[in-house]
Structures are given as C-alpha cells and as structure tokens.
Amino acid sequence: MRLVVATCQVDYAGRLTAHLPMATRVLMLKSDGSVLVHSDGGSYKPLNWMSPPCTVREGTVEVEGVERVEWTVTGKNGDTLRILIDEVHHESRHELGIDPGLQKDGVEKHLQELLAEHPASLAEGLTLVRREYPTAIGPVDLMCRDRDGVSVAVEVKRRGDIDGVEQLTRYLELLNRDPLLSAKGPVRGIFAAQEIKPQARVLATDRGIACAVVDYDALRGMDDSEHRLF
C-alpha cells in the first residue's frame, strides 16, 4: 500500500461530477488497485474513491505558471479521478500481507453458519459451495450456486448498511474476473442481514444485488428441529 499525505484538489468525472477544493488529505493506493481519498474528520468513509480495477498515471501539469504533479485514475467504465497535488507532506509504502478477514461477533458468525446449513432460505434452489470463499481482498461469507448453476456470492451482516453493499460489490467485481466462476453467467450477489437499512437496499438494487432479510430465530428453530429428528 502507498500512503500519501498531500495538499491536493480532487475532481471526479463519470456518471456525475464532484469537486474537492485544495486541502490537505490522505491518499491511499492499495495493492488491490483501489484509490481512496480521506479527510481527517467528518466520516470514516473516503471522500472519494475508485474501485478496482483501475489504472493510475502520474504526470505533471502547469497551473498558473507553476508545474504540479497530477494523478489521473481511470476506472473500468472510463470514469476518472484527477488528483492535483500542490505539496506532499508525507509519503510511505507498506507491505500489509494477506489479511485473515474480519472476525465475526457471536451472532453474526452463528447467522453465517445457519445460512450455510440452509442456503435455500435465501433463494429457492440455492446450494452451498463453500463458506469463507477466499479472494485476494478477503473471504466471501458464502459461495453458492443457484438451480441453473450460476455462482452466487452471499455477504452476511447482522445489520446491513451501505458499507456491506460496497464490500459485496468489490467481491463481485473480483469474482467475475474468474472464468470458472462466471462460466454459467455473471456471479450474482445476495446481501443478507437481520435488518437492512433503506439506503443500503437502494444501493444494492442499483447494483443488481438481491437483498434478503433473515429471521435469526426462525433459522435457529429450523436447526433445532432438524437435530431433534436424530
């Protein structure tokens, strides 16, 4: 990962346009190909970002007679993030290695286990391929197949918000590059949670991701009922 603290201006052009005037910000270039622009307050989310795969080209431009460094980040759909750097205050590179993934809390972990045992509760005909399916950016909670053999990635949360949808979006972008997984068609996504916030549902729908509200107690009841049969 490359970490840069710089006074910079950021302009995005794509489905819409966005402008961040000159200020000191943190720029992150991650090994997965993503680029993120952070401020020092207001939110833990980036002010702007570009999801992988994208390309970063560094060059120089003349602004009011002064030559400045400019990064041009181009996304897969041709959208661009232009970062005009006035001054670099800090720059460093770090090898973070392979991340073991987020450790789930008790309820979320158990919810994932129950859904792995009952994938058809999310969609009729769905079968489990593997839990914690490994990818270069972390494990997918559940990798499944539908009745037509199409791969389905399931992200499980206790409470579903926009960050969870973004996480699943990144997984899907990566998984759809695998010809084996996408042989029967594009890998689909299901965002499963006990509660899904309206904003997350809107974003998921916009990105073609299905939402599933999970009844934790009902799933536990199914599990207990099956165990009593034996």
pLDDT digits (tens, 9 = 90+) for 108-154: 888 899 999 999 999 999 999 999 999 988 899 999 999 999 999 99
Write down the pLDDT at residue 102.
Answer: 58
Domain with CATH 3.40.1350.10 in the chain: 106-228
Q: What is the mean pLDDT of the segment spanning 66-95?
A: 94
pTM of model > 0.75:
no
Tens of pLDDT along 162-205? 999 999 999 999 999 999 999 999 999 999 999 999 999 999 99
Q: What is the mean pLDDT of the segment spanning 34-51?
A: 87
Distance CA 134, CA 119 (A): 19
Domain at 2-93: CATH code: 2.70.180.20
pLDDT of residue 65 exceeding 80, the answer is: yes
Helix, strand, or coil here: 138?
Answer: coil
Q: How far is CA 132 from each of CA 79, 152, 161, 204, rounded to the nearest angstrom?
A: 32, 13, 20, 21
Split at pLDDT 50, 70, 90, the class of 101 is: low
pLDDT of residue 223 exceeding 60, the answer is: no
Q: Which strand ranges, in their side-by-side order, compose the sheet holding 17-29?
A: 48-50, 35-38, 17-29, 2-13, 80-93, 66-75, 54-63
Q: What is the mean pLDDT of the segment spanning 18-33?
A: 93
CATH number for 106-228 (one of 3.20.10.10, 3.30.1280.10, 3.40.1350.10, 3.40.1000.10): it is 3.40.1350.10
Distance CA 149, CA 165 (A): 23
Could you tell me how many residues make up the chain?
Answer: 230
Structure tokens at 86: 């006035």
Write down the pLDDT at residue 225.
Answer: 44
Domain with CATH 2.70.180.20 in the chain: 2-93
